[in-house]
């Protein structure tokens, strides 16, 4: 039995060694995604999209004769692993650029590594501190939380609602949202009357909602990713809470409507335009990219492309554009990325500059509402 076990071990090890050697390929792009673990809902569509886009580019003959090669690793959402794998991408795989990681925490952990080794990083996570202050080698494609918060607050301001309750998840996504919700409230004349959190694995949020029900709040803003917000929507319905409920872009996918069921009706949230791609007017500059992405993703994976996948789409396309401009080395790709103007991607229209490595404006988001189990744009 023991011998069999050891033979098995040796097989595993030798398997790893053989697959670790790659065929030589002109331009190597690394990717770090949280394909398993709590952030898998981000990493999986990102990985799928990145693979899909790279395949399509290569099928069409590559970029200026260069084929692209994607080396993607799973970080399982763990900062330590992300650092190890970033090192692996740079030292062993010798990539010229890295896409990802999926979460802000991992990105912050990886930044010192890429800065040290001078490799451009295009992060797919939202935290504004990734590019604020600007770091020479670090860009991002996910929209800043600031923009999403602004979208909700503008709406509230227009409707003369000034007292809100916030309910955020106690992980990186929620904490970043909470920080922005609190920081920007003053600017829009909004006061936060109740500030609560819930754990990412909590199964019941009626306690927090009961507390909010007893407060003066005129609206509830919840910042989290599936399944928490769906649970909150259901709990709010159970408690008979009538005040409007806002969610974050963390749940802007059909999955949320499916999970929350009837309780989703009437919920509003800021979302990337990909969710309502077919409803956009023809004049919208992003429409072409969006429709192409949605169609492609559906063809490849028989699933709805969401804006998380979109972050990876944007990152690969940005690199592709840089290569089209003649960049092939890490340094030249970085320089070209910084020169990106009017790139109409999935997350919005990107304009990078030496002072701005986030590149998006407020028009990156639209406010949508759930009506009859589908999304409609709130005018």
| Ranges within 16-55 binding another protein (CB under 8 A) | 16, 19-20, 35-36, 38, 40-41, 44
Which DSSP letter does residue 356 get?
B
Q: Interface residues for another protein in 119-158 (CB under 8 A)?
A: 127, 129
Q: Taken in order 213, 219, 221, 222, is the CA torsion positive or negative?
A: positive
Question: Of the ranges 57-65, 77-85, 311-319, 342-350, which one interacts with another protein (CB under 8 A)?
Answer: 77-85
CB atoms within 10 A of CB 349: 18
Tokens 């916030």 identify what position? 166
Minimum CB separation from another protein for residue 304, in Å? 12
Q: Please, how many CA atoms are within 13 Å of residue 187, restricted to the half-sphere of its CB?
A: 12
Q: How near is the Cβ of 355 to another protein at its closest, in Å?
A: 21
Least distance between another protein and beta carbon 150 (Å)? 19
Nearer to another protein, 91 or 371 (CB): 91
CA–CA gap between residue 120 and residue 137 (Å, rounded): 5
Residue 215 is a binding residue for another protein (CB under 8 A): no
**C-beta closer to another protein: residue 41 or 155:** 41
Considering only residues 260-279, where is the footprint of another protein by CB under 8 A?
Answer: 261-262
Shortest distance, CB of residue 72 to another protein, whole angstroms?
10
Q: Return the number of the residue (79 or 292) whose C-beta is nearest another protein.
A: 79
- Helix ranges (DSSP H) in the chain: 2-20, 40-59, 79-91, 104-117, 145-158, 172-185, 206-213, 228-238, 254-260, 287-301, 307-324, 330-338
Options 58, 87, 325, 332; binder of another protein; rule CB under 8 A: 87
d(CA 323, CA 306): 26
CB nearer to another protein: pick between 234 and 320:
234
Instruction: Measure the CA–CA gap between 313 and 52, rounded to whole angstroms.
Output: 9
For another protein, which is the closer residue by CB, 116 or 371? 116
Closest CA to 307 of 147, 167, 197: 147
Residue numbers 148-207 binding another protein by CB under 8 A: 170-172, 174-176, 179, 196-199, 201, 203-204, 206-207
Core vs surface per residue 321-336: b (16+ CB within 10 A) or e: bbbebebeebebbbeb
**Minimum CB distance to another protein smaller for 21 or for 283:** 21
């Amino acid at each position: 039995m023991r011998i069999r076990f050891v033979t098995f071990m040796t097989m595993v090890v030798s398997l790893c060694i053989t697959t670790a050697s790659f065929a030589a390929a002109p331009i190597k792009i690394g990717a770090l995604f949280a394909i398993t673990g709590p952030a898998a809902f981000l990493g999986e569509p990102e990985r799928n999209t990145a693979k899909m886009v790279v395949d399509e580019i290569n099928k069409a003959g590559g970029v200026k004769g260069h084929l692209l090669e994607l080396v993607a690793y799973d970080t399982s959402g763990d900062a330590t692993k992300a650092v190890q794998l970033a090192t692996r991408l740079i030292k062993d795989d010798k990539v010229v650029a890295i896409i990802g990681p999926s979460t802000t925490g991992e990105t912050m952990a990886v930044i010192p590594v890429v800065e040290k080794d001078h490799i451009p990083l295009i992060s797919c996570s939202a935290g504004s501190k990734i590019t604020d202050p600007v770091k020479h080698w670090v860009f991002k494609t996910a929209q800043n939380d600031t923009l999403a918060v602004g979208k909700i607050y503008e709406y509230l301001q227009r409707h003369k609602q000034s007292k809100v309750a916030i309910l955020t998840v106690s992980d990186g996504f929620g904490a970043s949202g909470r920080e922005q919700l609190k920081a920007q409230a003053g600017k829009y004349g909004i006061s936060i009357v109740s500030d609560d959190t819930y754990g990412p694995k909590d199964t019941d949020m009626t306690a927090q909602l009961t507390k909010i029900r007893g407060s003066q709040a005129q609206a509830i803003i919840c910042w989290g990713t599936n399944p928490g917000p769906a649970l909150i929507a259901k709990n709010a319905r159970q408690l008979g809470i009538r005040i409007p409920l806002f969610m974050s872009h963390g749940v802007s996918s059909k999955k949320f409507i499916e999970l929350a069921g009837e309780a989703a009706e009437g919920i509003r949230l800021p979302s990337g335009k990909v969710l309502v791609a077919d409803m956009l007017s023809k004049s919208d500059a992003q429409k072409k990219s969006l429709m192409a992405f949605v169609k492609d993703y559906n063809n490849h994976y028989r699933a709805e492309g969401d804006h998380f996948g979109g972050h990876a789409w944007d990152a690969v396309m940005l690199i592709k554009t840089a290569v089209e401009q003649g960049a092939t080395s890490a340094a030249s790709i970085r320089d070209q990325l910084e020169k990106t103007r009017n790139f109409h991607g999935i997350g919005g229209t990107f304009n990078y500059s030496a002072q701005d490595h986030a590149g998006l404006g407020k028009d990156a988001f639209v406010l949508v509402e759930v009506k009859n189990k589908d999304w409609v744009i709130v005018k």
